[in-house]
Amino acid sequence: MGGADKPGLAVAGRTMLERAVDAVRAHAPGARVIVVGPTRESPPALYVREDPPGSGPVPALRAGLAHVRAPRFALLAADLPRLTADHLAELAGALDGTASGAVYVDAGGREQWLTGVWRTDAVRAALADYPGRSLHGLLGPLDPRRVALADDRAEFDCDTPEDLARVRRDLDRDT
């Protein structure tokens, strides 16, 4: 996206970050929302930063997880404008008594590590001894439930200007 502030890009009148947080709050009203990134006026949340800022998803997870108080948490990217409470309910429902987490997989079978629901203790234990920087290396060994994304559109997350244009066109039309 050419260095753009992806979470701050607007889709259907809301930033992508606001849309993701809206989905969390619709799924779990009153849930504590922790955003790893620069502080913003909206959405209201607890904002924390990884050290050093911009150092990647594993340091960001460490920074955010330090503030999680619940037995489960959602690990989400901020570029998921199609994310809904129903998606989070589906992931939470897949997290049965034995699973450490549940993640969406794309049409190619690849885990989408930044679209998942996890048991807090399992991830904390994995992070305690993890020296790496890869979410796959950290979360893969936890053997999460893999959930096929029913609406597997390429732009479920927005990685390119074309993805963003498609999702804007679709969601603007729907609002």
Assign residue 126 the CATH number of its domain. 3.90.550.10
**Neighbour-count burial of 16, counting CB atoms closer than 10 A to its CB (0-12 exposed, 13-18 middle, 19+ buried):** buried
pLDDT reported for residue 2: 66
pLDDT reported for residue 153: 53
Within a domain: 1: no
Please report, in tens digits, the pLDDT of each residue of the chain (175 residues total).
Answer: 667 788 998 998 999 999 999 999 999 999 999 999 999 999 999 999 999 998 999 999 999 999 999 999 999 999 999 999 999 999 999 998 889 999 999 888 889 999 999 999 999 999 998 999 999 999 999 999 999 987 655 457 888 888 888 888 888 776 5
Instruction: Look at the pTM and tell me if it is higher than 0.85.
Output: yes
- Extract the tokens encoding 64: 């955010």
Q: Which residue in the block uniquely carries the two structure tokens 């998803």? A: 57
Within a domain: 2: no
Within a domain: 143: yes
Within a domain: 137: yes
**Three-state SS at 16:** helix
Distance CA 73, CA 154 (A): 25
Within a domain: 86: yes
Within a domain: 154: yes
Furthest CA-CA distance within the chain = 47
Distance CA 125, CA 109 (A): 26
The total of structural domains in the chain comes to: 1
Phi-psi region of 134 (alpha: psi -120 to 50; beta: other; left: phi over 0): beta
Distance CA 12, CA 82 (A): 11
Domain with 111, as residue range(s), is 7-174
Within a domain: 54: yes
pLDDT reported for residue 154: 45
